[in-house]
C-alpha cells in the first residue's frame, strides 16, 4: 500500500499543535503556580537537606578523628616522657572523655574506645577496660575481626580483674571461630585459665587443639612437648 503523502499545510500545522500544548501547559502552571513552587521548593529542600546532613556528618567525623589523634599524641608523649603507662593513660583521659561525649555516633568514637580500653588495660585499670570493651561489643556488628578483637580484649581485661569465669567465656567465643586472627591466642589463654581453675582435662584439650590446628603459633613447639609430657604422665599413672 502506498504511503499517504503529507501535505505542506499539514506539516505546517505541527508547530501549531506543539505551541498549543505548550500554551496549555504554561497556563496550567500559572494557574497552579503556588503548588508548583511549593513542590519545587520541597525537592530543593530535600536535596539541600541531604547534602547539608552529609556535610555536617563529614565535618563531625573529621573533628572527631582530630580529637582522637590528640588523645593518642597526649598518651604517646607522656609515655615517652615519663615511661609511666598509668600517667600516660590519665593524661589522655580528658581528651578521650571529650571525644566520647561530644561525638557520639561517629566511627572515631569506636576506634577511640578500642585504643583507650587497651591503654586502660596496660595501666592496670581493668574495670575501665572491661566497661569500654562491653560498650564497643554491640557496635562490632557482623564484622568477625572486630568482634574477635573486642572479645579478646574482654577476655584479657576480665582475667586482669580476677573474673576468671568471664574471661573463659569470652576466650571460648573467640576460639569457637576457627583460624581467625586471635583464635590460637585464645586457645592458649584458655589452656592457662583452665589450669588456674584446676581443670587439667580442659586445659589439655585446649593445648591439644592448639597443637593440631596451629603449627605456626610461636608457642606450639613448647606446648607440644607439654602435651606429650602430660599424656605420658597420665599413661604412667593409669598403668
**One-character DSSP codes across 87-114:** HHHHHHHHHHHHHHHHSTT-HHHHHHHH
Instruction: Answer yes or no: pTM beyond 0.95.
Output: no
- Report which of 44, 13, 43, 20 is spatially closest to residue 28, judged by C-alpha positions: 20
Positions in the chain short of pLDDT 70: 1-57, 178-180, 232-239
Query: What is the pLDDT, as a whole number, of residue 202?
Result: 94
3-state secondary structure of 176: coil
Query: Where exactly are the structural domains of the chain?
Result: 51-124, 139-234
Contacts by residues 161-164 (CB-CB < 8 Å, ≥ 24 positions apart): 161/126, 161/127, 161/130, 163/130, 164/193, 164/196, 164/197
Largest Cα–Cα distance in the chain? 117
Cα dihedral 197, 199, 203, 208, rounded to 10, equals 180
- As a whole number of angstroms, the distance between CA 12 and CA 5 comes to 14
Domain 139-234 annotated CATH 1.25.40.10: yes
Amino acid at each position: 500500500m502506498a504511503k499517504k503523502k503529507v501535505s505542506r499545510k499539514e506539516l505546517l500545522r505541527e508547530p501549531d499543535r506543539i505551541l498549543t500544548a505548550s500554551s496549555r501547559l504554561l497556563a496550567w502552571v500559572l494557574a497552579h503556580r503556588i503548588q508548583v513552587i511549593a513542590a519545587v521548593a520541597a525537592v530543593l529542600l530535600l536535596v539541600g537537606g541531604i547534602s547539608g546532613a552529609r556535610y555536617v556528618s563529614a565535618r563531625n567525623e573529621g573533628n572527631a578523628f582530630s580529637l582522637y589523634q590528640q588523645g593518642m599524641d597526649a598518651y604517646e608523649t607522656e609515655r615517652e616522657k615519663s615511661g609511666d603507662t598509668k600517667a600516660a593513660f590519665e593524661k589522655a583521659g580528658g581528651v578521650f572523655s571529650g571525644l566520647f561525649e561530644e561525638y557520639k555516633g561517629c566511627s572515631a568514637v569506636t576506634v577511640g574506645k578500642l585504643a583507650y580500653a587497651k591503654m586502660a588495660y596496660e595501666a592496670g585499670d581493668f574495670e575501665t577496660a572491661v566497661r569500654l570493651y562491653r560498650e564497643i561489643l554491640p557496635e562490632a556488628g557482623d564484622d568477625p575481626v572486630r568482634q574477635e578483637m573486642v572479645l579478646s580484649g574482654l577476655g584479657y581485661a576480665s582475667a586482669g580483674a580476677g573474673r576468671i569465669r568471664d574471661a573463659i567465656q569470652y576466650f571460648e567465643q573467640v576460639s569457637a571461630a576457627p583460624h581467625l586472627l586471635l583464635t590460637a591466642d585464645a586457645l592458649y589463654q584458655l589452656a592457662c585459665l583452665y589450669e588456674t581453675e584446676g581443670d587439667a582435662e580442659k586445659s589439655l584439650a585446649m593445648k591439644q587443639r592448639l597443637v593440631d590446628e596451629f603449627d605456626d603459633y610461636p608457642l606450639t613447639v613448647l606446648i607440644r612437648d607439654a602435651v606429650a609430657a602430660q599424656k605420658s604422665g597420665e599413661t604412667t599413672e593409669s598403668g
